[in-house]
């Protein structure tokens, strides 16, 4: 078996020609030669700026390039700067501020909506400080006393006044109380029976001051009387019924309060409030207050009736110079 080389000769020859045309020359890099001589010095360059001054600084439009422009000469430069303005930022508002426990971490929460940042602050409270040392003992205080020595009624429209005379650690107080305006006409009374067989009228026109303890009723003074029939008034400030029946009772009380409080007046039967008789009014310091009530009630033989006053706070009630209180009781049936 043999191979005919002449059969591919022409094909091989063309391939050699093609490769020959691609690489006409062949170079081989030799070793680096010796360093050459230093060349001659070049000509002197121009002088730089003699002076440099800053001219104007302008704000350019947002998103433009910053620019520096020499509006002077090549020797004396004057530089104008153009700086682009920044874009508008988001709006920030302060939201709520809450106090946390002392051991908590401080934090700020940012809620972002419609280009607005709302900042909520959470701040821990400080730890309790160390108790300070006890201060030095103070000088002994002076004990002062207060005594009410007189109460006078002045004309309506004048201002209430308290005169204080201080002697030997004691305040001696005199109250000047203006008369109240005349009250409205009361309702028409019931038609009386042809013959009144039981009635009593007790009153007080120059009584003592009342030193009220909060929520503790005090019996109202009724030391004087005008009309008595078939009634027992031997008990202090009290009427004892001798005949059972239906009675109409009218009652009145007035005074000046030494402090702001709620003052109440009430009728009592055997020291128990009669339903529908308690009247309460709010009064201010040194304000004149009066109460007027009326009721029809069934009473049994030997039941005792009196009048009581009370307050929601400790207060002194000072009576007027006119009629302070009265209790009128009439049997009508």
Residue in the block written with tokens 């682009």:
84
67-94: pLDDT as tens digits: 878 888 877 878 787 887 877 777 888 9
Q: Compute the Cα dihedral for 181, 187, 191, 196 and give only its sign.
A: negative
Supply the pLDDT for residue 28: 61
Contacts of residue 151, Cβ cutoff 8 Å, sequence gap at least 6: 174, 175, 177, 209, 256, 318, 319, 320, 321
CB 181, CB 206: distance < 8 Å = no
Residues contacting residue 225 through CB under 8 Å, at least 6 positions apart: 200, 201, 202, 203, 233
The pLDDT tens digits of the residues spanning 199-242 come to 999 999 877 899 999 999 999 999 999 889 999 999 999 999 99
Token digits for 303? 């039941």
pLDDT score for 5:
58
Query: Could you give the maximum distance between any two Cα atoms of the chain, in Å?
Result: 176
Question: What does the alpha-carbon distance between residue 229 and residue 242 come to, in Å, rounded to a whole number?
Answer: 10
Extents of the domains making up the chain = 51-84, 91-124, 145-178, 199-331
Q: Please state which architecture CATH assigns to domain 199-331.
A: Sandwich (2.60)
Q: Which of 291, 293, 303 is nearest to 331 (CA)?
A: 303
Per-position DSSP letters for 44-60, written without gaps between them: PPPP--SEEEEEEEEEE
pLDDT average per 10 residues of sequence, the chain (333 residues): 61 76 64 81 71 82 80 80 77 87 85 87 81 83 78 82 86 83 76 73 88 94 91 94 96 93 95 94 91 94 96 92 90 93
**6: region left, alpha or beta (phi > 0 left; psi from -120 to 50 alpha):** alpha
How many Å apart are CA 238 and CA 257, to the nearest integer? Answer: 24
Residue 287 makes CB contacts below 8 A (sequence gap 6+) with: 160, 256, 257
Q: What is the pLDDT of residue 263?
A: 95
From residue 70, alpha-carbon distances to 48, 59, 141, 220, 251 in Å are 14, 17, 86, 105, 106
> Token digits for 202?
């007790």
For position 137, what pLDDT does the model report?
86
User: Residue 18 carries which DSSP code?
Assistant: H
pLDDT of residue 194: 46
Q: CA 78 → CA 60, 66, 67, 213, 277, distances in Å?
A: 19, 17, 14, 93, 101
């Amino acid at each position: 078996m043999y191979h005919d080389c002449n059969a591919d000769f022409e094909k091989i020859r063309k391939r050699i020609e093609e490769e020959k045309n691609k690489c006409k020359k062949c170079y081989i890099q030799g070793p680096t030669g010796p360093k050459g001589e230093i060349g001659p010095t070049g000509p002197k360059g121009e002088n730089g700026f003699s002076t440099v001054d800053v001219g104007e600084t302008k704000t350019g439009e947002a998103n433009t390039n910053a620019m520096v422009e020499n509006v002077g000469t090549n020797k004396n430069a004057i530089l104008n700067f153009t700086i682009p303005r920044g874009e508008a930022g988001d709006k920030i508002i302060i939201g709520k501020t809450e106090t946390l426990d002392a051991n908590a971490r401080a934090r700020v929460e940012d809620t972002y909506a419609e280009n607005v940042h709302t900042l909520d602050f959470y701040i821990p409270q400080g730890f309790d400080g160390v108790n300070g040392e006890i201060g030095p003992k103070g000088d002994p205080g002076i004990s002062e006393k207060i005594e009410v020595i007189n109460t006078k009624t002045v004309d309506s429209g004048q201002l209430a006044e308290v005169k204080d005379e201080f002697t030997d650690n004691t305040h001696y107080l005199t109250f000047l109380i203006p008369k109240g305006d005349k009250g409205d006409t009361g309702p028409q009374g019931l038609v009386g029976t042809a013959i009144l067989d039981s009635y009593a009228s007790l009153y007080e026109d120059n009584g003592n001051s009342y030193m009220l303890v909060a929520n503790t009723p005090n019996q109202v003074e009724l030391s004087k009387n005008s009309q008595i029939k078939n009634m027992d008034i031997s008990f202090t400030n009290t009427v004892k019924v001798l005949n059972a029946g239906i009675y109409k009772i009218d009652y009145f009380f007035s005074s000046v309060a030494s402090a702001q409080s709620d003052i109440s007046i009430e009728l009592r039967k055997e020291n128990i409030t009669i339903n529908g008789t308690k009247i309460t009014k709010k009064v201010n310091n040194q304000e004149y207050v009066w109460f007027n009530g009326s009721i029809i009630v069934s009473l049994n033989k030997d039941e005792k009736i009196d009048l009581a006053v009370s307050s929601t706070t400790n207060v002194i009630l000072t009576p007027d110079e006119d009629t302070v209180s009265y209790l009128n009781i009439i049997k009508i049936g």
